[in-house]
Amino acid sequence: MLIRDYTRINGRYKIVNKYCNALKTYYNVLYRTRKEYIKMFKRTGYILI
């Protein structure tokens, strides 16, 4: 499985209820660190290569 997502180096970054003109709606996003992604995948049993 290949995951393509934005990650943060210096900690988590969270955007809450930000309006996007292009989408004409509000959105929320959470950018995690590389370490957070590794921890999540290992916890669920995936093997990282």
The DSSP element (H or E) to which 31 belongs, if any, is: strand 25-33
Q: Is residue 2 part of a domain?
A: no
Structural domain contains residue 17:
yes
* Sign, CA torsion 9/46/15/7: positive
Number of domains in the chain: 1
The C-alpha atoms of residue 25 and residue 17 are separated, in whole angstroms, by 9
Tens of pLDDT along the chain (49 residues) come to 666 777 777 888 899 999 999 999 999 998 888 888 889 889 999 888 7
* Domain extent at residue 37: 7-43
Domain assignment present for residue 36? The answer is yes
**Verdict on whether the full-model pTM lies above 0.85:** no
